[in-house]
Every structure is written in structure tokens, then in C-alpha cells.
């Protein structure tokens, strides 16, 4: 990790290397993020309405959808999807480059593979993750709105006004973004490490890809608990 | 204005010229009593070898005899456990990272299956080193890349991706990429593996022609006896971690050394046995009692 950070300067001097990785890790993950966000938001709207209407509080469904997504589900599910889609791809790509001697060839050309291959992918993932999580939450809120307001008929004014009065920018939005930044660092660090460390065989690359998804998922869920405990302690 | 013979710069220039003249007479690569092991498994055991400039050298030997390890030692990818490997007068494993990378810029290596960067086009693969190590304008890089590709007969394939190339074409693109910065030393790791006879002959011809044209030194690690003996100047045979034999192609063809004879003529049994050594006899393994009791 320290090595990657130390060797990141050339990547920032040639930012197009990072831009390219943002495209592969971020832009190419958009479809799965947006579609998943929409459905998660729709389910939240439906379940939220079902529960809240028993207490006559169905107008609070907007608050429930927004807080659930911004604080937890947006960063966590987006990170899990990111680990499965982009993290596994990063590991497989770097692992296969190693297995087919591309990294060795680069080294023999006096080009450091960590600076040229690993660092741009790491930063591409780190920059993409918070943006993907934000988009997941936005589309999720829209999904909740579709179900609760458009399909079920909850009052639109109540839906938005309750959400506006309950959601705090500092505690809810910013903390959610901070969480997704942490997840971005953890997932991409695991992905590039597993790829670079993979045994140069078909079995080795396959095992490394699996380890990326499993380790990242556990790390995301564990880290989420720790971050939540620090961020939302004593906040109503 | 005439140069002042007492000028320090002038003296330094003279010394540099003399140093380069002296270096030109010395071997480009020197192996001095080199030992190398993977854990407890000894790969090289006291290898001594000198490789002169401007030659094409073949290193041959059975699988796992340490041929590729020799290339890794020259490139500084591995360090000998004893002895030293020098390239152009510099002991490779004593160099720091920056010095090693500076030396590697004067080397090229062709890997067994080319090792082309699969996310870059043929053009970008050949341009890779120029973009990484030089500040040449893109127009000049374009001309140089097309010249290198033309030298290997693939100028017309510059727009293709590696996945669209045949094995022989990929090897030729990798060769063009390796000579992008006109190296003084080229290393070829099994350059003929898996090639059809035409591609094999093309690659062999290119190795010889480019070595002569660019004034390089080339080292081939190969199993292909016929093609190698056609193009190389000198051959080293590696067996049991030492140089078992060496000589010119004609000397190798006529050699009576058992290992070399078996290798050159592809004999099934000999110093390299057909059967892997077993702990028990064949009849014991099959549970058969023989008259001799064996």
C-alpha cells in the first residue's frame, strides 16, 4: 500500500492514465450501479410504505428511503457491487498480465509495473467509488419516489418536505461519502494486491479473483460497522 | 578555435574514448563462477562464460537446466547466490534500482510468447518504450514505430490488436518492440516455440539480420537445434548446472561429447535417461518374482 502511494506521482503527472482507469472502473460499472440503485430504492419505498402506513406515518417514507440510502445502503451496496464488478476485473487483469509475462516484460523495459499498472488502477478505483455510491443513492431515492408517490399515491409534498427536514447534509450526506471513500480505498487496495500477488497460473488468477470479492465484501461490512459506530453515535 | 590540450573537459573526453575502445575489446557479458539455487534446488553450479560483442549466441540444454535463469541473471531479475554476472563491465546484482533500470534501457528481451500488452494496439506496443523513456514528439515516434515494424515486415499491421495476431506475428511485433530503443543486447527466451516452419525461419532470419544491422549482441535460449545452428556464431550447452560443452555450430554438429551428441541428434536415451530414476525395480513395483530374484 505504502509502495503504491510512493509510486503514484508519475500517475498524477500523466493523469490520463488515471482517467482511463476511472473509465474502466467507474463508467463501465454505471449500468449495474444505476439499475441496482433503482430497484433497491423501489423495494425500500414499498417496504417502508407497508410498515409506516400501519402507524399512519406513510408520508415519512421519503425520510426512510433517503436516510437508509445515504447513511448505509448507498455506500455499502455500491461498494459490494463495485468489488464484484470492478475489483474482480482489476485482479483478473493484473493477474493475467503477470501470468502472460507482461509485467516482467515491462520491468525488463525499465518501466516499474507498480507505478505504471498498479498505481493508476488504485487511484481510478478510489476516485470512482464515492461517485458511484452517490449515484446509487440518487437513483435509489428516485426509485423510492416512483413506488411511493407515483404508483402508491403518497403525497408528493410530504414525501419531499419530510425528507428535506430530516436529512442533515453534514451527518448523513457527508458521512455517507466518507464511508464510500474508505470502501474505495479498501476494495481497490485488496484488488490490486491480489492481482499483483496472484500465482501466474489459471488456477492462481481464479483464486485471486475469488479472494478479492470475498475479502472485499467482508472488509466492507466490517468497516461499515466501525465507521457507523464512530459517525452516528448519539445522533438522532 | 583549437581545443586547449590542458583543458579538463578535453582530457575527460579523451579518457572516455579510450575507455570505450577498451570496453569494445572486453566481453559484453561475463559470468564468473556463478551459483544460483531455488531454495535447496541447485540450478547453476559454478558457471563461467564470456560473451563477445556483435555475436549471436545460443544457450541450449534440457528443460529445467537453468537456461532462462541465465537470462534473468543478465537482466538483473535474479541475483546469483555466489559469483558475479557483469554486463558492459558492470556487475548487475550490485547495481541500485535506478542504475539497473538505466542498464535495462540498453537491453531488449523477447519473451517466449511475446508478452505483448493486450490492451494496447501493435503501434502502441512498439511505441511504449519511446513514450516512457524519451521526450520525442509524437510525429517522430510515429515514424520510428513504422520503421521498426517495417523491419519485421508488419508495418501494415500497426492498427491491429494483439488478439488479432498469429503466434508468429505476435513474436515479430514483440521483436520490433524490443529493438525500439536500439539496444546493445537482445535476449530471446525460446523464440521458436510453437511456430510453423515459415514463421520459425522468418524469426531466425530476423534475429541474425537485426543483430548484424544494429550492431547488437544476441543471446538465444532455445531447444531448436537446426534453426539455431543455422543462425548463431557460438553455442553453449548447459547441463547439471554447469557448461557441459561449447563451440561453433560446426564443432557442435561434429561433437563426440555424449550429452551434445544425444541433444543434437535427438536420441531418446543417453546421458539424459529416458526413465526417471525409481526407488524400486520395475519387477518389484509390479510384484513379479524373477529367476534372479530381482
The per-residue pLDDT for range B224-234, each reduced to its tens digit, is 888 888 899 99
The answer to whether A108 contacts B132, with C-beta atoms less than 8 Å apart, is no
Q: Is a pLDDT exceeding 50 seen at residue B238?
A: yes
Q: How far is CA A30 from CA A123, A133, A138, B201, B271, in A?
A: 18, 10, 13, 49, 62
B105 touches chain A (CB under 8 A): yes
Nearest-angstrom CA–CA distance, B87 and B187 = 13
Mean pLDDT of A209-229: 96
B146 band by pLDDT with thresholds 50, 70 and 90: very high
Burial class (CB in 10 A: 0-12, 13-18, 19+), A156: middle
Q: Is a pLDDT exceeding 50 seen at residue B193?
A: yes
DSSP per residue, A19-76: HHHHHHHTGGGHHHHHHHHHHHHHHHHHHHHHHHGGGT-GGGHHHHHHHIIIIIIHHH
Please give the tally of structural domains in chain B.
1
| Closest chain A residue to B103, measured at CA | A110
Query: What is the residue-averaged pLDDT of chain B?
Result: 86
Strand, helix or coil for residue B221:
strand
Mean pLDDT of B16-43: 82
The per-residue pLDDT for range A173-194, each reduced to its tens digit, is 999 999 999 999 999 999 999 9
Half-sphere exposure of B214 (CA within 13 A, CB side): 25
Q: Is residue B143 part of a domain?
A: yes
CA of B45, closest CA in chain A: separation in Å? 25
| A110 vs B104, B112, B116: nearest CB | B104
B112 touches chain A (CB under 8 A): yes
Q: Is a pLDDT exceeding 90 seen at residue B279?
A: no
- B265 vs B242 pLDDT, higher one: B242
Strand, helix or coil for residue A155:
coil
B156 CB neighbour count, 10 Å cutoff: 10
Q: Is residue B3 part of a domain?
A: no
Q: Is a pLDDT exceeding 60 seen at residue A236?
A: no
How far the first Cα of chain B sits from its last, in Å, is 93
| A101 vs B104, B107, B115: nearest CB | B115
- B177 vs B272 pLDDT, higher one: B177
Q: Are A62 and A148 in contact (CB under 8 A)?
A: yes
B6 band by pLDDT with thresholds 50, 70 and 90: low
B150 band by pLDDT with thresholds 50, 70 and 90: very high
- Please state which of the ranges A30-39, A217-226, B64-73, B120-129 shows the lowest mean pLDDT: B64-73
Query: Which residues of chain B neighbour A101 with C-beta distances below 8 Å?
Result: 111-113, 115
Mean pLDDT of B179-201: 88
What is the DSSP pairing of strand B242-247 with strand B234-239?
Answer: antiparallel
Half-sphere exposure of B154 (CA within 13 A, CB side): 32
The per-residue pLDDT for range A124-171, each reduced to its tens digit, is 999 999 999 999 999 999 999 999 999 999 999 999 999 999 999 988
A195 CB neighbour count, 10 Å cutoff: 28
Q: Are A90 and A192 in contact (CB under 8 A)?
A: yes
The answer to whether A110 contacts B117, with C-beta atoms less than 8 Å apart, is no
Nearest-angstrom CA–CA distance, A11 and A1 = 15
Residue found under cell 577498451? B22
The per-residue pLDDT for range A101-125, each reduced to its tens digit, is 999 999 999 999 998 899 999 999 9
Nearest-angstrom CA–CA distance, B33 and B51 = 15
Nearest-angstrom CA–CA distance, B252 and B235 = 8
Strand, helix or coil for residue A141:
helix
Identify from A110, A121, A124 which residue to disrupt to test chain B contact, counting B C-beta atoms within 10 A and taking the largest count.
Answer: A110
CA of B179, closest CA in chain A: separation in Å? 11
Query: What is the residue-averaged pLDDT of chain A?
Result: 92
| B104 vs A102, A108, A116: nearest CB | A108
| A100 vs B108, B109, B113: nearest CB | B113
Q: Is residue B198 part of a domain?
A: yes
Determine the structural domain holding residue B213 and report its residue range: 28-286
Nearest-angstrom CA–CA distance, A178 and A230 = 12
pLDDT computed for residue B284 by the predictor: 82
CATH number at residue B129: 3.40.50.300
Amino acid at each position: 500500500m505504502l509502495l503504491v502511494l510512493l509510486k503514484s506521482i508519475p500517475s498524477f503527472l500523466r493523469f490520463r492514465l488515471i482517467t482511463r482507469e476511472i473509465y474502466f472502473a467507474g463508467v463501465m460499472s454505471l449500468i449495474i450501479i444505476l439499475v441496482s440503485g433503482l430497484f433497491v430504492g423501489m423495494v425500500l419505498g414499498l417496504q417502508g410504505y407497508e410498515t409506516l402506513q400501519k402507524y399512519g406515518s406513510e408520508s415519512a417514507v421519503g425520510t426512510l428511503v433517503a436516510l437508509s440510502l445515504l447513511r448505509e445502503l448507498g455506500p455499502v451496496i455500491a461498494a459490494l457491487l463495485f468489488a464484484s464488478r470492478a475489483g474482480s476485473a482489476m485482479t483478473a487483469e493484473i493477474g493475467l498480465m503477470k501470468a502472460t509475462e507482461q509485467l516482467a516484460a515491462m520491468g525488463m523495459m525499465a518501466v516499474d509495473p507498480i507505478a505504471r499498472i498498479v498505481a493508476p488502477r488504485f487511484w481510478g478505483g478510489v476516485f470512482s467509488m464515492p461517485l458511484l455510491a452517490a449515484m446509487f443513492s440518487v437513483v435509489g431515492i428516485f426509485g423510492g419516489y416512483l413506488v411511493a408517490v407515483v404508483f402508491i399515491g403518497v403525497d408528493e409534498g410530504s414525501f419531499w418536505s419530510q425528507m428535506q427536514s430530516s436529512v442533515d447534509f453534514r451527518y448523513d450526506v457527508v458521512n455517507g461519502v466518507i464511508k464510500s471513500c474508505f470502501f474505495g480505498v479498501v476494495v481497490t487496495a485488496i484488488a490490486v494486491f491480489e492481482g499483483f500477488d496472484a500465482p501466474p497460473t489459471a488456477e492462481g488468477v481464479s483464486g485471486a479473483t475469488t479472494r478479492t470479492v470475498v475479502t472485499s465484501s467482508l472488509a466492507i461490512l466490517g468497516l461499515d460497522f466501525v465507521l457507523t459506530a464512530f459517525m452516528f453515535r448519539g445522533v438522532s | 578555435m583549437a581545443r586547449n590540450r590542458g583543458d579538463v573537459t578535453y582530457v575527460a573526453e579523451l579518457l572516455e574514448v579510450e575507455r570505450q575502445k577498451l570496453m569494445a575489446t572486453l566481453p559484453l557479458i561475463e559470468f564468473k563462477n556463478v551459483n544460483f539455487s531455488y531454495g535447496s534446488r541447485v540450478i547453476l553450479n559454478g558457471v563461467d562464460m564470456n560473451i563477445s560483442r556483435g555475436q549471436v549466441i545460443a544457450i541450449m540444454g534440457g528443460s529445467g537446466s537453468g537456461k532462462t535463469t541465465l537470462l534473468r541473471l543478465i537482466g538483473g531479475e535474479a541475483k546469483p547466490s555466489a559469483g558475479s554476472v557483469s554486463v558492459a563491465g558492470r556487475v548487475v546484482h550490485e547495481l541500485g534500482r535506478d542504475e539497473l533500470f538505466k542498464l535495462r534501457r540498453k537491453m531488449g528481451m523477447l519473451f517466449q510468447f511475446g508478452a505483448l500488452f493486450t490492451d494496447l494496439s501493435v503501434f502502441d506496443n512498439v511505441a511504449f518504450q519511446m513514450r516512457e523513456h524519451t521526450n520525442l514528439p509524437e510525429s517522430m515516434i510515429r515514424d520510428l514505430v513504422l520503421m521498426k515494424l517495417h523491419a519485421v515486415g508488419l508495418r501494415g499491421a500497426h492498427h491491429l490488436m494483439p488478439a488479432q495476431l498469429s503466434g508468429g506475428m505476435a513474436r515479430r511485433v514483440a521483436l520490433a518492440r524490443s529493438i525500439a530503443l536500439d539496444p546493445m543486447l537482445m535476449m530471446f527466451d525460446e523464440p521458436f516455440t510453437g511456430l510453423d516452419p515459415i514463421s520459425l525461419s522468418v524469426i531466425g532470419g530476423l534475429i541474425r539480420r537485426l543483430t548484424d544491422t544494429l550492431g547488437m549482441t544476441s543471446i538465444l535460449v532455445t531447444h531448436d537445434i537446426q534453426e539455431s545452428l543455422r543462425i548463431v556464431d557460438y553455442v553453449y550447452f548447459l547441463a547439471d548446472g554447469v557448461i557441459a560443452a561449447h563451440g561453433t555450430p560446426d564443432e557442435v554438429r561434429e561433437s563426440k561429447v555424449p550429452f551434445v551428441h544425444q541433444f543434437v541428434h535427438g536420441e531418446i536415451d543417453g546421458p539424459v535417461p529416458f526413465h526417471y530414476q525409481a526407488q524400486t525395480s520395475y519387477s518389484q513395483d509390479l510384484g513379479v518374482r524373477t529367476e534372479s530374484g530381482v
